[in-house]
Amino acid sequence: MSGRTVLVLNGPNLRRLGTREPDVYGAATFDDLVELCRETGRRLDLHVEVRQTDDEAELVGWVHEAADARLPIVLNPAAFTHYSYALRDALAQRTAPLVEVHISNPAAREEFRHTSVVAGVATGTIAGFGMTSYVLALQAVADMLAAEAIAGA
């Protein structure tokens, strides 16, 4: 296993990538996303664990797990972005970097997608770059971890 573990957590419907609204989300599948994240992690000396759930409670449980273990998170909350205060409250307990990520640009879509209830507790948000959003988010996490290591040395 390579360096520090990072959880890449994905909310509802993301396992349907490739078939779900390809005009919005592209033709790449969830398996393609998993491989992209793992390969990016190897390049950045990160151990990347990719998970997806359609269940809000399961996602909250994973966030608690990350907080307890001080694990950084790259999170695509999907539809939970806009209304899950349970997820937001769990994320507020974070103990490591948290990057919110979106494949599309929610601000350029329907009005209800313009508000993220989780953005206020995230370190930052990357959106609108397709699958590359995940690559950029993992790079940001790697940079933050490196800065923490330098500050702690």
Q: How many residues does the chain have?
A: 153
Is 42 assigned to a binding site? no
Nearest to 101 by CA among 118, 83, 114, 85: 118
Is 104 assigned to a binding site? yes
Residue with tokens 């609108």: 128
**Residue 25 annotated as catalytic:** yes
Spatial separation of the C-alpha atoms in residues 145 and 57, rounded to whole Å: 28
Is 109 assigned to a binding site? no
Structure tokens at 150: 């330098």
Q: Per the residue annotation, which of 47, 64, 102, 134 is the catalytic one? A: 102
Is 64 assigned to a binding site? no
Beta sheet of 124-127, edge-to-edge order: 46-52, 4-10, 73-76, 98-102, 124-127
Catalytic (active-site) positions: 25, 102
Binding residues, as ranges, are 76, 82, 89, 103-104, 113
